[in-house]
Structure 1
Amino acid sequence: MENMNSTLNYVNKSISSDIAKQKQIEEQNEKYRLIAENTTDLISLIEVDGSFQYASPSFEAILNYDLSHIGHLNFFEMIHPDDQEMVNKEIRIFCKRKKTVRHIEIRIRDNNGEYIDIEASFSVIDQSSFSKNDLILVVMRDIRYRKMFEQKIYHLAFHDTLTNLPNRRSFMNELNREVLDRKKLNTPSKMSVLFIDLDNFKSINDQWGHDVGDQVLIEAARIIKDSIRPSDLVGRVGGDEFIVLLKDIKDEEDLKKYVNHILTKFNSPISISGQDYILTCSIGVATYPKDGTTSRELIKNADDALYNVKNTGKNHYLLFNNKIKNESLERRLLENALRHAIKEEQFYVEYQPKLNISTKQLIGMEALVRWKHPELGTIPPGKFISLAEETGLIVPLGEWILRESCRQMKKWQANGYQSLVISVNVSIRQLEDPHFIKTVENILKETDLDPQWLEIEVTESVFMDVNDAASVLEEIRQLGIQISIDDFGTGYSSLSYLKHLPIDTLKVDASFIKDIHENDESKAIVKSVLTLATTLGLNVIAEGIETQEHVNELNKDGLLFGQGFYFSKPLNSQAFEEYLLKEVNA
């Protein structure tokens, strides 16, 4: 009896264990079922020939296939034809090595006949209870939205967001490929790089606002794109600069045809919301292989050609040549020398007297910078001032000129000479410097010069080229400094703006003075300026007075003040001090 009870206990325990194991298996299977039915991955078991043994419910949810008919389909026939060779190759290798295939990106057809991007991995199952052959486990993931996002990021990385043109990086990649292909194939085919700059675009931004400016840039991009062939490439470098690659050019005449076509297209007004905007462009051109055999050389030389166009009238084009090459080299050498010169203080200031032209009484002087190079000698301002402007070196150079001029004026005052107003030219780049006002304040404090003896001279173009120029000048005037408009009459279309600006003096440009004694138009211009100045309570001074005839004619018109070689050339500090001494003894 005892043995029977022991046996029954054993059987009961065994049955309980089996039930527990069965229950565990059922729970495990239920978990697998839940995972398979709810996963967003596409999971399938296929035969080596591509027939389906199993497909997860996601095939229905994502690919719209009826699971009851999936067994009639073939996995490999669902793959995009262009991807089939790659997949077959990968599977052959993986079946042979029995290793999991790395993730590969392919396109697979859904039940609507459209192909979607998926990422797939393959594994061999060599033992199964329902197939005599090896099975392949295929796990796929829908990546079409990821691909769309990647494409968007790529587009943003390589395209200009405003015009949708390729950006500089994208353009350079394509240019590099074209150069390498030509070198590799040793082809005689020519190609040209066009650097395009919109003329006076800043005035559109300033006058009409950046929203209009953006629309003008979009239209400019369209004009350039429509002017070239579909096989060519246009990109936006930045701002109002564009760059074009003409990939196959027969000869120079063929090149000129395309360049002139672009220039002609820009001669027509750009219409935006019923308003016409006149816009021209300047183009610099470099051709492979004559003007460069690397992308860097082509870009640099096209840019150098453009620089020359902008300096000689705009609305034109120039093909890179040896003259530009030599000037470019000289310019780069000069820029390096200029940087060194600022550091080593190789500059000095000369002073040109300003006088009452009737009484010959000295009323002030203009400070003019000179560069004494240790090897090249004196370099004229025309050679380096524009370069300093372009490179931004005018900011430190201008600060030195201002400090030196104030220091010298204070020294003359301390030596007992009469107090005179010293005029210092200030460039657009200096006015754009956010620290300029503070710099002026510091210099006045360092030199202990009373602000009433300092005059800042600016060209009238600053009111077109500098945002809030009037407010910047008003801050300068609040310091007690006088403001003078240099080269007046050459850079602005309207005179009515003067009554709104914080200025004290107008300097009539020398171009109107040189022929005032024989040109009625010059006489009329000077007379108009004097009338306007009198109405507004402004002083007027004429620059470039070189003859007695100039003086006589200006006296007739009632002009009081002037400067020029007729009275004195610019003098160094020692010579100007001797000039002051003569004034004292006169």
Structure 2
Amino acid sequence: MNQSEWDKLEESEMKYQAVFTYNANAIFILDQFGKITEVNPATLTITGFSSHFLLNKKITEIVHQNSIKSVQAGMTKVWNGHSVTIDIELNHHHLKEVIVHVTMVPLKIGEIVNGAIIFAQNITEDFKTKRIALEDELTGLPNRRYLIETLESAITEAKRANEKLAVMLIDLDRFKLVNDAIGSLFGDRALRLIAERLKSSLNEQEVVTRVGGDEFVILIPQLKSEMEAKSKASRLLERLKKPLIIEEYEFTLTGSIGISIFPNNGEDCETIIKSADAAIYRAKSNGSDSFELYKREMRFQLNEKFQIENDLRKALERGEFSLYFQPQFDARSQRYCGEEVLVRWNHPDEGLISPGKFISIAEETGLINTIGEWVLREACFQKKKWIDNGFPAVPVSVNLSTKQFLKRSIVEIVSDILQASELPPHLLELEVTESITIDIQRTSDSLKRLQSLGVQISLDDFGTGYSSLQYVSQLPIQELKIDQSFVRNIGNGKHNEGIISMIINLAHFLKISVIAEGVETKEQLDYLVGLKCDKVQGYYFSKPLSVVDFERLINNW
């Protein structure tokens, strides 16, 4: 080698040493065994370790445990002669979080790889900023923005690999009720516990995000079949409904899950999420604690829901609601003894819409408070008018939704309506459901305050809700209403009949009267009379009637 060649080699070595020594990025030189043989000064600054500590360590020994698998997979590719770029977390001497953007390059002599160079750029601050933008502040889970970015990447990969993926939209049933009943601080803690349950139920490839309120989305890549998605949903529902214990409160939350699958139910991010949304609407309409896989007809039902919601907001202003009344009778004498108020929606295009189609939407949107207050006011004024016109002075029964009941101003609202209508308080019966027992102390206090006005309290749909039988003795109620699902099955087996008998005996032991709804046959009536049920209502006597038809019925009874 002549002098000129030596000079060029020396110049090249000087340039390499300058790049190595003064580079702001960490540089690790590895031998053929993956051990660190050399590091530059920036490595010491970024990791906080000395060169004495780092040398002869395997690269995996200074990588945070969260990143070890990624580094191992990357090094496998490097030993096969390929370059790899990934983001990983390094250990730090002072236990700081250090995120680096790493490029791993094979060192070759000829075609043989006998070492590697790793360049590591410190991106910790950028990573923290991005993480804040992509993280849900309450639960620490990734947020909606992260979901969209990840789902778009997952769809691209699934197209390339000819694979399927699933998106599961999860909505917690009754969460708003819990939040209203025991306060938002407890609600936040419940959401964090639910987030942990969901996260611990997934494998490394699956991602759970919180997209707002009590809604979570799970992404399942490399899906093998629809059955795998259904099995996963079923297991998640089981995990969700295990009791939550927060200080002195113990309660249960269930979930509804809508599932959509790529490419079956859409080929882009927006369509896949919309399909899951349509599926969860079907799941919720079927009742709590269930899941549904998207089907084509569900999109129409979701569009119908949005249309109903929009029209519902205008219905009160336009006077489209009307009251219907179903008479109640003494079970033994069959004497008229009261009536239940029901609301009907006279839609300008669709005609008469039953509560089954719009009440759940009203509850979701919060419109139930406005509609419920209108029903209560109209019912009291109508009842006072009937009494003034000589109709029997029997109670009118009005349903209070759980949202209505949990309003702190509910007692004042009822009091104001009674005063305005001049209806004697003992002629108003308020029906509440078992779900109000989520906070038994607050429920009991509110019921006592309502009773102090002179109104009667009835516990509706008894036996179908979430409360314990012990709560019945703690609540100041005058009546239990047996749900029609039990009455309908009289004669079809001892199970339902046993429940009815138990409810009646329990109520009478507590000196509470019992009314059974949904009575449609003489056989059902005779059975209830035999059990000494106090009152009945149902199609056997009369369907719900408009004001005019109800007046005609009572006049002819």
Please give the TM-score of this superposition, normalised by the length of structure 1: 0.67
1:295-444 aligned at under 5 Å gives the runs 295-312=269-286, 317-444=291-418
Greater CA deviation, 521-530 or 335-344? 521-530
Check if 1:551 corresponds to 2:525. Answer: yes
Match of 2:200 among 223, 228, 231: 223
CA spacing shift, 1:266–1:330, aligned 2, 3 Å: closer
Greater CA deviation, 375-384 or 150-159? 150-159
For the residue of structure 2 that corresponds to 1:246, the secondary structure is: strand
For the residue of structure 2 that corresponds to 1:491, the secondary structure is: coil
Please give the alpha-carbon distance, in whole angstroms, between the structure 1 residues aligned to 2:552 and 2:277: 48
Greater CA deviation, 357-366 or 512-521? 512-521
Whether the aligned pair in 1 keeps the contact of 2:256 and 2:288 (CA below 8 Å) is: yes
Greater CA deviation, 420-429 or 372-381? 372-381
In the other structure, the counterpart of 1:79 is 23
Match of 1:114 among 25, 38, 45: 45
CA spacing shift, 1:466–1:159, aligned 2, 3 Å: farther
TM-aligned CA deviation for residue 340 of structure 1: 2.4
CA spacing shift, 1:365–1:371, aligned 2, 3 Å: same
Unpaired segments ≥5 residues, structure 1: 1-48, 52-72, 84-107, 118-143
TM-aligned CA deviation for residue 399 of structure 1: 1.3
For the residue of structure 2 that corresponds to 1:455, the secondary structure is: strand
Check if 1:468 corresponds to 2:413. Answer: no
Task: Please tell me the residue identity of whatever aligns with 2:170.
Answer: I
Match of 2:135 among 140, 152, 159: 159
Please give the alpha-carbon distance, in whole angstroms, between the structure 2 residues aligned to 1:270 and 1:495: 20
Please give the alpha-carbon distance, in whole angstroms, between the structure 2 residues aligned to 1:162 and 1:467: 28
- Alpha-carbon RMSD across the aligned residues, in angstroms, is 4.0
In the other structure, the counterpart of 2:472 is 498
Whether the aligned pair in 1 keeps the contact of 2:26 and 2:46 (CA below 8 Å) is: no
In the other structure, the counterpart of 1:62 is none
For the residue of structure 1 that corresponds to 2:349, the secondary structure is: coil
Whether the aligned pair in 2 keeps the contact of 1:163 and 1:221 (CA below 8 Å) is: no
TM-aligned CA deviation for residue 204 of structure 1: 9.8
CA spacing shift, 1:551–1:113, aligned 2, 3 Å: closer
Greater CA deviation, 280-289 or 368-377? 280-289
Task: Please tell me the residue identity of whatever aligns with 1:77.
Answer: T
Whether the aligned pair in 2 keeps the contact of 1:457 and 1:486 (CA below 8 Å) is: yes
1:273-292 aligned at under 5 Å gives the runs 282-292=256-266
Please give the alpha-carbon distance, in whole angstroms, between the structure 1 residues aligned to 2:442 and 2:498: 32
Could you list the per-position Cα deviations for residues 420-467 of structure 1 after superposition, in whole angstroms to 9, with x for gaps in the alignment? Answer: 210011111222334433332332232222222111111223323898
CA spacing shift, 1:203–1:163, aligned 2, 3 Å: same
Unpaired segments ≥5 residues, structure 2: 1-11, 28-38, 49-97, 100-121
For the residue of structure 1 that corresponds to 2:202, the secondary structure is: helix
Whether the aligned pair in 1 keeps the contact of 2:171 and 2:256 (CA below 8 Å) is: yes
Whether the aligned pair in 2 keeps the contact of 1:110 and 1:116 (CA below 8 Å) is: no
In the other structure, the counterpart of 2:550 is 576
Please give the alpha-carbon distance, in whole angstroms, between the structure 1 residues aligned to 2:461 and 2:355: 16
CA spacing shift, 1:282–1:555, aligned 2, 3 Å: closer
Please give the alpha-carbon distance, in whole angstroms, between the structure 2 residues aligned to 1:169 and 1:409: 54
TM-aligned CA deviation for residue 236 of structure 1: 2.3
Task: Please tell me the residue identity of whatever aligns with 2:23.
Answer: I
CA spacing shift, 1:219–1:397, aligned 2, 3 Å: same
TM-aligned CA deviation for residue 154 of structure 1: 4.1
Check if 1:171 corresponds to 2:171. Answer: no
Could you list the per-position Cα deviations for residues 106-146 of structure 1 after superposition, in whole angstroms to 9, with x for gaps in the alignment? Answer: xx9657733389xxxxxxxxxxxxxxxxxxxxxxxxxx999
1:449-528 aligned at under 5 Å gives the runs 449-464=423-438, 468-492=442-466, 494-516=468-490, 519-528=493-502
Whether the aligned pair in 1 keeps the contact of 2:151 and 2:269 (CA below 8 Å) is: yes
Please give the alpha-carbon distance, in whole angstroms, between the structure 1 residues aligned to 2:323 and 2:431: 16
CA spacing shift, 1:467–1:403, aligned 2, 3 Å: same
TM-aligned CA deviation for residue 409 of structure 1: 0.6
Give the number of equivalent residue pairs.
453
CA spacing shift, 1:157–1:510, aligned 2, 3 Å: same
Please give the alpha-carbon distance, in whole angstroms, between the structure 2 residues aligned to 1:265 and 1:414: 57
For the residue of structure 2 that corresponds to 1:375, the secondary structure is: coil
CA spacing shift, 1:511–1:159, aligned 2, 3 Å: same
In the other structure, the counterpart of 1:192 is 166
Whether the aligned pair in 1 keeps the contact of 2:26 and 2:40 (CA below 8 Å) is: no
Greater CA deviation, 492-501 or 108-117? 108-117
Please give the alpha-carbon distance, in whole angstroms, between the structure 1 residues aligned to 2:244 and 2:302: 38
In the other structure, the counterpart of 2:216 is 242
Task: Please tell me the residue identity of whatever aligns with 1:217.
Answer: I
Whether the aligned pair in 1 keeps the contact of 2:177 and 2:403 (CA below 8 Å) is: no
Please give the alpha-carbon distance, in whole angstroms, between the structure 2 residues aligned to 1:516 and 1:394: 33
Match of 2:234 among 255, 263, 267: 263
Please give the alpha-carbon distance, in whole angstroms, between the structure 2 residues aligned to 1:578 and 1:493: 40
For the residue of structure 2 that corresponds to 1:468, the secondary structure is: helix
TM-aligned CA deviation for residue 260 of structure 1: 2.1
CA spacing shift, 1:557–1:307, aligned 2, 3 Å: same
Task: Please tell me the residue identity of whatever aligns with 1:574.
Answer: V
CA spacing shift, 1:333–1:188, aligned 2, 3 Å: farther
TM-aligned CA deviation for residue 531 of structure 1: 2.1
CA spacing shift, 1:435–1:277, aligned 2, 3 Å: closer
Could you list the per-position Cα deviations for residues 385-411 of structure 1 after superposition, in whole angstroms to 9, with x for gaps in the alignment? Answer: 222222222111111111111110111
For the residue of structure 1 that corresponds to 2:550, the secondary structure is: helix
CA spacing shift, 1:219–1:271, aligned 2, 3 Å: farther
TM-aligned CA deviation for residue 176 of structure 1: 4.6
Task: Please tell me the residue identity of whatever aligns with 1:546.
Answer: E
